[in-house]
Structure 1
Amino acid sequence: MKTQFQAAGAVNGERLLNSFLDLAKINAPSGDEKPIADVLVPRLTEMGFTIQFDEAHKEIGGNCGNLIAWWDGTDSNIPPLFLSTHMDTVLPTAGLTPVIRDGVIYSDGTTILGADDRAALAAYLEGIQAIQESGTPCGPIELILTVYEQPGLVGAKYLDYSKVKSNTGYIFDSSGDVGQIILQGPFSSRIWWEIQGKASHIGLNPEEGISAILIAAQALRNMKLGKVDEETLANIGVIQGGEMTSIIPGTVKLSGEVRSFTADGLQKQIDYMLAEFTKAAEAFGGVANARVEKKYFGFDIPEQAEFVQAAIRAAERIGVKPYLTKTLGGADTNVLSENGLSCITLGLGFRNIHSFQEHISIENLVNTGRYVTALICEWYETHKPN
């Protein structure tokens, strides 16, 4: 008997839903991706993929490297296309119990759902399987499945790019509905401060103390954070300091992050924040030491790029409205682009990620699978001989 899911076309929506629910239940947070890799390897092997792992985990302290899988497709004369996402979740999913209400998939509220980004994994598997089962001609397909993405795109940073054969591809990893095409992503850096005042006992020699907490408070009070402008975001996310309630704190540590669509905008905000901490420290007679670390570079892909136009046509092919946008959110797209791969981020419609209220609609899940097949078809038709 046909179900509502089979109306999606070549993609078997019911199988896709069940695949997602199975993958979501696999507990494999950042650094512990081996359980999900152990499930993916036999499935991909059965589909005709050859599997490689790199040794990124040795740099990270995890238990599994990045997974690179290759399938020849039906026509080796077509340039290969890659699909990428990450295998880790931001929090553990042990004991995950999925709940479906009104066509939307949730957890039971005691864990995250892990749709970020198990939904993409399930859609890739289903979309490619649908291509294979229908005998649709296509070029080689490569999967680049990274580890340790959630803590800051770390797996992609340590990816062994010599193992990657393809140059162009797509990453489904955004909360926009299917049809969202992200052409621009941010530059990002982290900043760590150590504010030095002078510790003293409040009851014995308070006049000698210089409160590092007050220095930090002064700097933060004068500093514009959050949405700085349309191009730039800044945040102080961690503050640590103090020893005892009776001791004026001599040291405070802070860390934060800046994101901007331009390298100049990023540097301008970093310089401004460094100057505010220095000014506050000098006013109190203290010192502000800072360390800046690049997190990832930005990307900016022209709308006219061949693979962008293919993504637009593929969305139209499955009856969803494509829309071009930019985001200050980071994804593996940033790091893969920095390392010479041509790629963009696409929406798949998960919501409230990194929370126990995370959810995704079945419609978006199935449309992601359909979009995968359409992208593969468009790529083939763009490059097949006339």
Structure 2
Amino acid sequence: MTAAQIGILAAIVVYLAAMVYVGFYFSKKGAGESADEFYLGGRKLGPLVTAMSAEASDMSSWLLMGLPGVAYLSGIADAGWTAIGLAVGTYLNWLIVAKRLRRYSVACGAITIPDFFSRRYEDKKNILMCIAAIVILIFFIPYTASGFKAVGTLFNSLFGVDYHLAMIAGAVVIVGYTVMGGFLAVSTTDLIQSIVMSIALVIIVFFGIHTAGGWDVVMNNAKSMAGYLSMTQLHDMATGGSTSYGLITIFSTMAWGLGYFGMPHILLRFMAIENEDKLKVSRRIASIWVVISMFVAILIGMIGYSVSKTGSIPLFASSSESETVIIRLADLLSRNGFLTSVIAGVVLAGILACTMSTADSQL
């Protein structure tokens, strides 16, 4: 194992150990003494933890891989309208749903979303509860499994560790702190993970701009490509031309934001805040973080293309390749010494944080 790999591994191991410790800490604080404590943390989340845990659990690895990958290949239109739709959906979910759900769930004593449906609509036979639970199981089992898969893929590509062994180890860590500490542990680790994700974004932006040759170079490269900086055109990396981005496509892309109103792992945060009056603070924190983080992620896609033009990383031609732009930049960063390899490890821990924050909340 090289010095760079040791530095990266050290940063990731410290991060994973911290997640397990959080679970252990809350298990000692009595997180599993009652169903209300385990599933909703006794409804005592602060506004910061509520906001950041909700958004970290939502973004998943899409924020650090999918969104930069789209921007890298096709410019800002597709990524930009998606980000706008998600930002609007985030804000409206906090504005319209949060206080009502918090108030009604307390009034009827519900601690899960399926439980809420049955109690709120006085379903004595619990038919609504069963339907909601089945829907969650059907769609969340593969989603959560994909999070475990991402952990295995990351360790396999970085260190050559057996894919299945890495996946199982990642699953043990995530399930471990989730089971030990319950909702409070998951929400606290999500807060930490949102911080790690933010640090990863900032590091890659500055390193990428430096490697590309400066901000002016990044902008000049973007301007030189047809439709790359347009909100009504898509750049075609294969032909070098552009295609129109019509009104129907814009509305379809923005419709991503509608999904927020039905995501149980986000809705539970509304139910768990200590006071409904603090939801306004949470809404502001969540909305600002989402807007800034998605803007920076799109910017990383643009920067990544300029770094490719220097020959420091490959020029990607497909979405599966372009989604690895942050991993490639982190690998490039790790080659500058042990200290930078540790910093690169923090960036890669940010990718893990995206994956784990979603998987633990879904669990």
TM-score range relative to shorter protein: under 0.3
Q: Give the TM-score of the pair, scaled to structure 1.
A: 0.21
Higher strand share: 1
Higher helix share: 2
